[in-house]
Amino acid sequence: MGSYNYYKMFGYFNRKFEMKDNGPPSDVIQAFSAYTGDASQMSADQLLRFLVEFQGEVGSTLSMAQDLMHQVLQRRNHLNKYTRNDLSLDDFYYFLFQDDLNPPISLQVHHDMTAPLQHYFIYTGHNSYLTGNQLSSDCSEIPIINALERGVRGIELDLWPNSAKDKVHVLHGRTLTTPVRLDKCFQSIRQYAFVKSPYPVIVTLEDHLTPSLREMVAEMAIQIFGELLYYPEPGVFDALPSPDALKHQIVLSTKPPKEYLDSIKPAKESLEIKDEAEIDQGDDEDEADEDEDVNKTQMKPSRYKRLIAIHAEKPKYGLMKTILAENDKVKRVSLSEQELAKGAELYGTDIVRFTQKNLVRVYPKGTRVTSSNFEPLTGWMVGAQMVAFNMQGYGTSLWLMHGMFRGNGGCGYVKKPEILMKKAPHEVFDPRASLPEKKTLKVKLYLGDGWRLDFSHTHFDAYSPPDFYTKIYIVGAPADFAKTRTKIIEDDWSPSWDEEFVFPLKVPELALLRIEVREYDISDRDDFGGQTCLPVSELRPGIRAVPLYDKKGGKYRSVKLLMRFQFE
């Protein structure tokens, strides 16, 4: 047997799965010493000074510091009672590495929630009932439940008549997707709407129904949602309530139906498909066959119409005419990702101005049949509130969506930055303009840990500990985009990089920090080791514990990074 093959068979096999303990980084030791002096223990007063001065938590109090100390000592001693009232260096290091005690962003709602709905980015789903691809997957209430449990506040349901036109099905029309009953979807929304967040759930209805079926939907909504259903004030459409005013309310949004016989479109016109790409247009909210049962409603205003709190429309006469039209009524305009990208390129400031009063919903293009997603920053840059995503379409784009809505305590509403709300002609934000640098973000990555607890010891490499490195990105305005990476730390379950990166930012208000850990593989594709995405505007300065997530956005139990954030 050749020496190479011998080494390959036995050399790698004999490598040890060593579990190293590198101890606290030097910056942690220096911070501890700076606040304790020559003492070996940190008092509650000293911990408070550290929180205020080093971590920038100016609102901290002595009782808060004492509570943190209590939780650290209780966890480390596994006892309800303990005799010490101070922290050792190891206790202090333990505290810094607890993401619930020392998170990178605030875990509480802290934005002003009293502005009108259109002043917020809203966590929004597309075709919320689909379990997989856009053409043949099952329709179910389960994806709706999953989305609400994650904090999604915008749910989309496509409403179609069954073959007998006596029941309402939820499915992706003109495809092979199997339907789910509307009542099951409504019941799931009622049960799970406010599990994650108390702020309003907007149910977007893509309506392809007859008038009698719309009345059935109205009755179903009233019966199932009950006191949770929001009833708009009659005749008032020039403003929308605030998220705070709509707490624990379910809000319906769709295109108002035609009420008069002479305004009803022929079925052929309303159901016409211009090309195959429109199969997933997602917001083609036209009426379906409005046959002889329209006579049953005649001129009587329907309950269905009175339940529509946010009126929707499509820019049928061109986006420019729609956004420049003088109109006192607040509306929701639906755009495909292509329409949005083209519009943002040609007249971004006009769209920004339009979204200061109206809602814009952006949905994936029809060719995304695998339920992939697009770059969400394109929509957010021009103030589009409802960037609608396939929540089952896992990948980098969805990670950015998750990251944006980790902000503001994960409540599903993120207040738009002031740059998008300025109305003076010369002050309206122009995403295409060359802007000056506003601030600099310094990111220091100390180390990572927890993989040995959340992964099997042979997950990354059968014969040795993993070789981790980290990729760090800034995603936001095109001028702010940046990417970098650390060195590879070989054979270490607790890699220590101790590297700092500097990112100059022109639009920090809309920037996201994306982090991805990989395990280097010389002969194959590098293995995934975790990811996270965080709003730069929400980052808390100081040394922080940063939890990592799997490819689907689920939080690992143990895997996290120790990092420091500084703004200049």
Taking the CB of residue 112, how many other CB atoms lie within 10 A of it? 11
Q: Considering only CA atoms, give the Rg of the chain.
A: 27
Q: What DSSP element (H or E) covers 212?
A: helix 211-225
β-bridge partners, 333: 313, 360
Length of the chain: 568
Tokens of 98: 């607890």
Distance from CA of residue 283 to its chain's centroid? 21
Q: Identify the helix (H) or strand (E) that includes residue 348.
A: helix 337-355
| 126 in active site | yes
Q: Please report where in the chains the tokens 């036995």 appear, as a residue.
A: 10
Q: Dig out the tokens for 247 from the structure.
A: 């707490």
What are the φ/ψ torsions at residue 321 (nearest 5 degrees)? -65, -35
Catalytic residue among 119, 126, 208, 402: 126
- For strands 555-567 and 439-449, give the pairing: antiparallel
State how far the Cα of 72 lies from the Cα of 386, in Å rounded to an integer. 40
Tokens of 312: 């929707």
| Separation CA 257–CA 252 (nearest Å) | 14
Catalytic, out of 111, 169, 172, 208: 172
Query: How far is residue 420's CA from residue 381's CA, in Å, rounded to a whole number?
Result: 8
Which 3 state secondary structure label does DSSP give 110? coil
6: number of Cβ within 10 Å: 10
> What is the rounded CA–CA span in Å between residue 357 and residue 410?
24
Active site residue ranges: 126, 172
